[in-house]
Amino acid sequence: MPVSPTDANAPPSVKPQRLSKGDQRKVDILRAAMIIFARDGFAGSSLANVAKVAGLSTVGLLHHFPNKLALLQAVLAQRDAYIAEKLQQVQQAPSLAGFVAFLQLVLQFSAEDPAVSQALIIINTESLSVTHPAHQWFTERFGIVHQHLQAHLQLLIDSGEIRSDVDPKQLSLEIAAMMDGLQIQWLRSPGQVQIESVFGKFLARLAADLARR
């Protein structure tokens, strides 16, 4: 196609960078780890099974991750980075409608991959034990999630967007419980639970109640 003067002056398009062979292997291993963690949990998983799913030998996997703990830490770090990237894409308007839209988006990317969702739920349950290596990670994330929800609800109260008698702490617990519980029911019976539709109806009722004077 001929290039016009305008096109000639335009900045060159940026091609997506391809991962190095080593980095791609790490991506494959982390994906395989999610699949195995979803099936066996962290406690019941083995590096040999992760390596098999990733298409590597156990020795090949150990070249990238020296033990199962290092693999778990990499999985959780990757999840942190992914969530941070997703949240940066969300424009959270300081309004009730914006808050509801934000919650719907959070559920969408929390449930976009059943293997990841199931792996995290199983590891989260395992980590209720204080000796579990992911105990601190999930405890910290629990605090972050509820701090964010409570702060945003308080902002909506202060701005008059929602009723002044709303208890942000109580409501943040109810919202998180709904999201966690729905994911478990969806994973148990994916053909029967339309998770986004069910959560959307819950949010519609919640919004109507919060706005009621």
Binning pLDDT at 50, 70 and 90, where does residue 87 land?
Answer: confident
pLDDT digits (tens, 9 = 90+) for 94-105: 899 999 999 999
1 pLDDT higher than 90: no
What's the N-to-C CA distance of the chain in angstroms?
A: 62
197 pLDDT higher than 60: yes
144 pLDDT higher than 90: yes
Domain boundaries, the chain: 20-72, 90-213
What's residue 167's pLDDT?
A: 97
What's the CA angle centered on 164, arms 163 and 166, to 5 degrees?
A: 75
134 pLDDT higher than 90: yes
CATH placement of domain 20-72: 1.10.10.60
What's residue 17's pLDDT?
A: 58
26 pLDDT higher than 90: yes
Binning pLDDT at 50, 70 and 90, where does residue 8 land?
Answer: very low
Binning pLDDT at 50, 70 and 90, where does residue 212 land?
Answer: confident
pTM: 0.83
The reply to whether 90-213 shares the fold of 20-72 is no
Q: Which residues contact 118 (CB under 8 A, 6 or more apart)?
A: 38, 187
Average pLDDT (40-51) is 96
Produce one character per residue of 139-155: b if its CB has 16 or more CB atoms within 10 Å, e if not.
eebeeeebeebbebbee
49 pLDDT higher than 80: yes
CATH placement of domain 90-213: 1.10.357
Tokens for 157?
């109260």
